[in-house]
A and B are shown apart, each in its own frame.
Chain A
């Protein structure tokens, strides 16, 4: 068999330990799909694979045990899934156009979860539309609230929902529930003074516990959506580490612009002697200040946004 492995991997198929067998990674931006697509995945698994589906760590499916010479056939069968999930594609029936930029993960978000501040899957799809297909190795994840169930701090871009609580002191009955919840579950940003509540903005992480627990609707959410953007978290060999906060109280459009700008930065600075270089290591090499210059190009942040002046990542060093 003569097959270009680079083309195989770019097409979202894996070179596996079992010679002549491959596995297809099906991306599901935002981790949500119509159940009907499972029928197609089952068909591929049963007829071309080993009958199994692996649930990937990035909320996709991996169909294992596919013969390498069946890639074209499988690409034709998977087409309705690619179209149905609105995955950008250059040519129909050729499967996935790239694999470097990984599936955009999201927690279940505010379609279901009471704690979430926004519809995570929808925002994930918007990001997917903006950055896929792309060969650069970038991982993005979105979580509805600072509980961070999807673990965005282990990603290059971690997006955490924030709400800006609004306080109507006329509606407040001084029950103290918000203060208690904020102190016990969150950061202790609320204090009671003269029977009314004061919020320390710099301590507030926008988790919304005050709103969730207010029995009189004295605490409500702002109509605007805000996010915490944490960057350059990673697992891996060299220096696994959690993402650090880059911008607090940032808006959706600015996040997308920053991620797109990051691709320009990668294009400029990536070490092309390596098969792939992960964005975080590029930032380590150029320094954060240079990255920040590129990332914020033409980004118009609202006055609410608070940008880190510098970032020093921690993590494990060997």
Chain B
């Protein structure tokens, strides 16, 4: 059902939803940016519409709401262990079309790639998505190239217009919260981006692509900070950490923490071996995973074209430029 509701009434509904849901949305957090006196736009629990940053792309993706950066899997002591209590409230997350497509990628990895991950499943079962339409394409976005510019996969679509809010309620449950006049409207979505990405067909990726000189420029340019992975809405890697408490080392906890294929240590193995020491090799691994390997396994590309990796790179390395170079290389070799 599509309705129009005043901001005030919307906030009242949000307040009522707050009894059952933790509500997360992108928020411009003042002074929290990388540089002094700059904002960090990232996901935060909110209570009212005005807290939400609708006009800018968030620096970090909503994945951190569903997949915590640090998650304790269990506490242990000698021969016993206990999983942490889980949050009783459900989740309502405001996000854009590309990010909803990214959730499908997370589901693929955590739920449909062998054994289901119970920690992820538990959170995922409680999440409802609120689509923020995109009035315009942002810098570095290439969602149209990736086919992620549009989605129907949401519980609620939201379009704030002045003091009014237009809502596209798709989830029956939410009908009980929002009351307004019926009004037809279309959710915004972008139909074209400044950046266009051409992805090589699998057969255009040469067997010896790892040897291509293309990667070598990244040996020097990339500083292996991992920002591209941490802001990515589709990266799902984690590492395990066993902590033994200082006061009593018979007690401790096992955590899982986000990992980055660009950061030192990612490929460390028993015996001190590690692979992909050159940063360009790590870049190759990441790029090919996003637009080749994943596709080969699951039939669609991993990357959703949000462009956050390009937004974040301190060295101005552009993922989309690299994919286009890869495409050109494929053409040459044919």
Contact = CB atoms under 8 A, between A and B. Distances in A.
Contact of B230 (A163, A173, A194): A173
A213 interface: yes
A195 B257 contact: yes
Nearest to A211: B34
A54 interface: no
B69 A216 contact: yes
A171 interface: yes
Interface stretch (A7-15, A33-41, A113-121, A308-316): A113-121
Contacts of B226: 173, 175, 215
B258 interface: yes
A114 B243 contact: no
A220 B31 contact: yes
Interface string A188-224: 0000001100000000000010011111111011110
A183 interface: no
A175 B70 contact: no
Interface residues of A, number: 32
Nearest to A109: B36
B36 A217 contact: no
A262 to B, nearest CB: 28
A217 B32 contact: yes
Q: Would you call the interface of chain B mostly helix, strand, loop, or mixed?
A: loop
Contacts of A163: 36
Contacts, number: 80
Interface residues of B, number: 31
B35 A212 contact: yes
A172 B246 CA distance: 19
Q: Would you call the interface of chain A mostly helix, strand, loop, or mixed?
A: loop
A119 B263 CA distance: 33
A170 B68 contact: yes
Interface in B192-236: 225-227, 230
Nearest to A170: B70
B260 interface: yes
28 contacts: A110-B35, A118-B36, A119-B37, A161-B36, A169-B70, A172-B69, A172-B70, A173-B230, A173-B259, A173-B260, A175-B260, A175-B263, A175-B265, A177-B225, A177-B263, A195-B243, A211-B34, A212-B34, A213-B225, A214-B34, A215-B226, A215-B227, A215-B263, A216-B230, A216-B258, A217-B32, A217-B40, A217-B60
Given A118-B36, A173-B69, A194-B244, 14 more contacts: A110-B35, A170-B70, A174-B241, A174-B257, A175-B225, A176-B264, A194-B246, A195-B255, A211-B34, A212-B35, A215-B226, A217-B32, A217-B40, A221-B32
